[in-house]
Amino acid sequence: MRIQSTGLPSLYDAIVVGAGPAGVSCAVWLVRLGFNPVLVDAADAVGGLCRINPFMDDWNASLPGVNGLQVADNLSKSLAQTKVEYRLKWPVQTVRTCASGFEVLGLNNDVLKGRYLVLATGVKARGLSNALPNPRVLVGPGRHVANFDFTNQRVAVLGGGDNAFENALFVLEKGARNVQVFARTVRAQRQFVQQLPASALTIGTYTVDSDSLTVNNEPYDVLLVMYGWEPNVEFAAELGLARTQRGFVSINFETAETSCDGVYAIGEVASRQHPCVVTALADGVTAAKAIQARLEANVN
């Protein structure tokens, strides 16, 4: 049975910020459970990081044979099928508590009000500190790397995780003259490390100059910076959310609720589980069910 929202017409049961897999899943489940959420995203399309993944997504056991862009399109279809109310090009500037729950402020003084707030804003790739934008310094994995012409280029890859090694192997395959991975420590999966020639790996501290494109004073044509990710939560600073040691939003593992009563954080912004589409979708379910329990407790 669909439970009607009991507040003012302008009060949503939940405001979900971020229309990647986590936010879409949460909003779809909330609607299917009988509630009235609204979903907002800064981007002009649904899908989050899946939108910059042109490669096959072979990690979803229930959806073989699709690439990241198709996953994003499927998320969009799910919103349409479920008739979720959503707004794109709606970058949240700040969020704050109010008597009825939460106020979420967009551009031009647009305000949305909700009983509960779900942060599903994902992550952004960490770049080199104090570096000016440079088209030959590619930060993080994705479409910009896939579209770059590496033929005969000397490439330095900075970082020791999966993305560093996977992208180094990709660049080699794309005809780079040489590739050197610089890793302070190696944390990548063994299968990736073993595929890279041992001579292409330098382990230990190194110095980078992004203006002259040098690493340890050796010149390169392109630098790939694969320094991991940081959460998109600056806009929620007013809530004073507790963070994990790695800077992600701290949550209760069972409910995905943050240190702030009524605020949930799901998907990569909380890094609750291994970051991928399937765990982001699962996080959306966890938060939707926790919100359902609270909304139904309030109604009865």
Residue 267, SS3 per DSSP:
helix
Determine the interface stretch with ligand FAD among 15-23, 166-174, 197-205, 287-295 (rule: CB under 6 A): 15-23
Residue 209: CB minimum distance to ligand FAD, A: 26
Question: Considering beta carbons, is residue 232 or 258 the nearer one to ligand FAD?
Answer: 232
Site string for ligand FAD, 183-222 (x = CB under 6 A): ----------------------------------------
Closer to ligand FAD by CB, 58 or 218: give it. 58
Give the residue with the Cβ less far from ligand FAD, 3 or 19. Answer: 19
DSSP labels for 226-287? ---EEE--GGGGGG---B-TTSSBP--TTT-B-SSTTEEE-GGGTT-SS-SHHHHHHHHHHH
CA 299 from chain centre, in angstroms, equals 34
Q: What share of the chain is helix, strand, coil (3-state, %, to 5)?
A: 30, 25, 45
14, 26, 40, 241: residue in contact with ligand FAD (rule CB under 6 A): 40
Positions in 136-175 near ligand FAD (CB under 6 A):
141-142
Is residue 120 involved in binding ligand FAD (CB under 6 A)?
yes
C-alpha span between 83 and 261 (Å, rounded):
28
**Tokens 């949460």 appear where?**
26
Look at residues 22, 11, 35 and name the one whose alpha carbon lies nearest to residue 296.
Answer: 35
In terms of Cβ atoms closer than 10 Å to its own Cβ (0-12, 13-18, 19+), residue 50 is: buried
| Structure tokens, 223 | 């630098």
Q: Which of 13, 57, 166, 257 binds ligand FAD (CB under 6 A)?
A: 57
13, 41, 166, 257: which one binds ligand FAD (CB under 6 A): 41
Say if CB 96 and CB 102 are below 8 A apart: yes
CA angle 277, 281, 287 (to 5 degrees): 145
Question: For residue 264, what are its two tokens?
Answer: 């949930």
Residue 76 in tokens: 């969009």
By CB under 6 A, what part of segment 218-277 binds ligand FAD? 232, 235, 267-268, 275-277
* Choice between 119 and 183, CB closer to ligand FAD: 119
For ligand FAD, which residue of 53, 180, 286, 292 counts as binding (CB under 6 A)?
Answer: 53
Instruction: Tell me how many residues contact ligand FAD (CB under 6 A).
Output: 36
Element (H, E) at 128: none
* Interface residue with ligand FAD, options 49, 69, 290, 295 (CB under 6 A): 49
Which range, of 4-12, 26-34, 40-48, 188-196, touches ligand FAD by CB under 6 A? 40-48
Nearest CA to 285 out of 255, 240, 247, 244 is that of 255
Residues engaged in binding ligand FAD (CB under 6 A): 17-23, 40-43, 48-50, 52-53, 57, 59, 68, 91-92, 120-123, 141-142, 232, 235, 267-268, 275-278, 280
